[in-house]
Structure 1
Amino acid sequence: MEKHKEITARKRIFQKGERVIIITTIQDSFTPLPKGLQGTVSHVDDIGTVHVHWDNGSNLGALLEDQIALI
């Protein structure tokens, strides 16, 4: 139930078109995203992944454990 609340909160906070910044490097085997990278929110899916069009051209989603913030 706690995870459901977190997903609902993410959907409320990270709206389409909002600008975000990575607080802690997102580790991914193929496309690591550095701290400080900015992007534009595309949408938040039903498992809480925030899909972002990053300014470096990547479209990697930010998972629940990844730290991003609105700017």
Structure 2
Amino acid sequence: MNGFPSQKEVKKIKEQYPKGTRIELISMNDPYSSIEPGTKGTVENIDDIGTLHMKWDNGRTLGVVPGEDSFKVISKPPEESMKQEQSMGGMSM
């Protein structure tokens, strides 16, 4: 990502990765990072420039930058999963 994302891009990031989303780090574009690839964590907050502030399972806290760092989503918060199912016409029982 060159420069800061637009407000529209940040809004999309916040919708894609709501608080409570679980991710697994693949790689971080920071040679001094203490977070190893494969570490899992939970999104705690997303700031106004789109950084995902994480609480990692190893007890550390460090932000992830979509577009710079590489990660995959493991799970979404329960209420977010239900919204997605409903928007796709799914049913919950």
Measured against the shorter chain, the TM-score band is 0.7 to 0.9
| Correspondence for 1:50 among 49, 52, 57 | 52
Match of 1:24 in 2: 27
- For 2:14 and 2:31, the matched residues in 1 are separated by 23
**In structure 1, the residue corresponding to 2:15 is in which secondary structure?**
helix
Match of 2:36 in 1: 34
Name which one, 1 or 2, has greater alpha-carbon Rg: 2
- For 2:17 and 2:64, the matched residues in 1 are separated by 11
- For 1:26 and 1:12, the matched residues in 2 are separated by 23
If the length of structure 2 is used for normalisation, what is the TM-score?
0.63
Gaps of 5+ in 2: 75-93
- For 1:23 and 1:68, the matched residues in 2 are separated by 5
If the length of structure 1 is used for normalisation, what is the TM-score?
0.79
In the TM superposition, residue 9 of structure 1 has moved relative to its aligned partner by 2.0
In the TM superposition, residue 42 of structure 1 has moved relative to its aligned partner by 0.2
| Correspondence for 2:9 among 6, 30, 42 | 6
- The structure with the greater share of residues assigned to helix is 2
Give the share of equivalent positions with the same residue, in percent: 38
Describe the shift of the 1:59–1:21 C-alpha distance in structure 2 as closer, same or farther (beyond 3 A). Answer: same
Instruction: For 2:73, give the aligned amino acid.
Output: L
- For 2:31 and 2:44, the matched residues in 1 are separated by 19
Gaps of 5+ in 1: none
Moved over 4 A (4+): none
RMSD value over aligned CA atoms? Answer: 2.0
